[in-house]
Amino acid sequence: MRGLEIRELECFLVLAQELHFGRAGERLYVSQSRVSQLLASLEQRIGARLVSRTSRRVHLTPLGTRFLCELTPAYEELASVVDRARSAARGVEGTLRIGFQGTADARLMTAITTFQERHPACVTEIVEIPFADPFGAVRAGDVDAAIVLLPVEEPDLVLGPAFSQERQTVAVSVRHPFASRASLTSAELAQTPLISATSPAPPYWRTAHAPSQLPAPAVRTLQEGLTLVAAERGAMLLCRPTAEYHGRRDVTFVPVEGLPDSVLGMVWHREGETERVREFARAVESVPVPVPLPPSPSPSLSPVGGPRSGSSRTPRP
Whether residue 96 is predicted with pLDDT greater than 50 in this model: the reply is: yes
Q: What's the sign of the alpha-carbon dihedral 255, 256, 260, 262?
A: negative
Distance of CA 39 to the CA centre of its chain: 46
Given this model, what pLDDT does residue 88 score? 66
CA atoms of 266 and 152, how far apart (whole Å): 10
- How far is the CA of 265 from the CAs of 105, 160, 275, in angstroms? 13, 6, 18
Asked if residue 41 lies in contact with residue 4, where contact means CB atoms within 8 angstroms, the answer is no
Given this model, what pLDDT does residue 297 score? 44
Mean pLDDT computed over 259-281: 91
User: What would the pLDDT profile of 55-88 be if each residue is shown by its tens digit?
Assistant: 889 999 999 999 999 999 998 888 878 776 766 6
Q: Which percentage of the chain shows pLDDT scores above 90?
A: 62
Reference 190, options 257, 142, 274; nearest CA is 257
Residue 3 — very low, low, confident or very high, per pLDDT cuts 50/70/90?
low
Whether residue 286 is predicted with pLDDT greater than 70 in this model: the reply is: yes
Asked if residue 7 lies in contact with residue 34, where contact means CB atoms within 8 angstroms, the answer is no
Residues 6+ apart with CB under 8 A from 155: none
Q: Before 200, cis peptide (omega within 30)?
A: yes
CA atoms of 170 and 184, how far apart (whole Å): 9
CA atoms of 243 and 247, how far apart (whole Å): 7
H helix count then E strand count, the chain:
11, 13
Whether residue 295 is predicted with pLDDT greater than 60 in this model: the reply is: no
Q: Where are the beta strands (DSSP E) in the chain?
A: 51-53, 58-60, 94-101, 122-129, 145-149, 157-166, 168-173, 184-185, 196-197, 218-219, 236-239, 251-257, 262-269
Helix, strand, coil distribution of the chain in percent, nearest 5: 40, 20, 35
Whether residue 308 is predicted with pLDDT greater than 90 in this model: the reply is: no
Mean pLDDT computed over 2-22: 88
Distance of CA 20 to the CA centre of its chain: 45
User: What would the pLDDT profile of 190-249 be if each residue is shown by its tens digit?
Assistant: 899 999 999 999 999 999 999 988 999 999 988 899 999 999 999 999 987 777 777 788
- How far is the CA of 296 from the CAs of 127, 164, 253, 293, 308, in angstroms? 32, 19, 11, 8, 10
- To 10 degrees, what angle do helices 6-18 and 32-46 make? 110
